[in-house]
Amino acid sequence: MQTTQSKSDRGFRRAMLCGLAGFVGCLLLWMAYTGGMPAPESQGRLLFSCLAPAVATGLIVRDRRLSWPWIAVLYVVTAAALLAITVLPKLKEMG
């Protein structure tokens, strides 16, 4: 019998796996586009850019029982929102 304290939080783990899959996917796209591995600093920025939305998504789904597709959709929406928050001010400076 599992208690609330011993139950593992699979929603957070799933969100982190979405972040890891996003990182690997972006890394593969980068390598296909440029033909080589990015610099370590760029890899670190990419890793943070993929795992920050995963942490936010994990906190949102922490105590909910959601399916993989719902968690993946929420990860994509969170990543897009964080990207918009960081890119829009830079676009306003340029324009």
Tokens 């676009």 locate to 91
Strand, helix or coil for residue 66: coil
Radius of gyration of the chain (CA): 16
Note the pLDDT tens digit of each residue in 33-72: 999 999 999 999 999 999 999 999 999 998 888 899 999 9
Report residue 58 as tokens: 């994990």
Amino acid at 41: E
Mean pLDDT score across all residues of the chain: 88
Strand, helix or coil for residue 38: coil
Quote the CA–CA distance of 61 and 47 in Å, as a whole number: 21
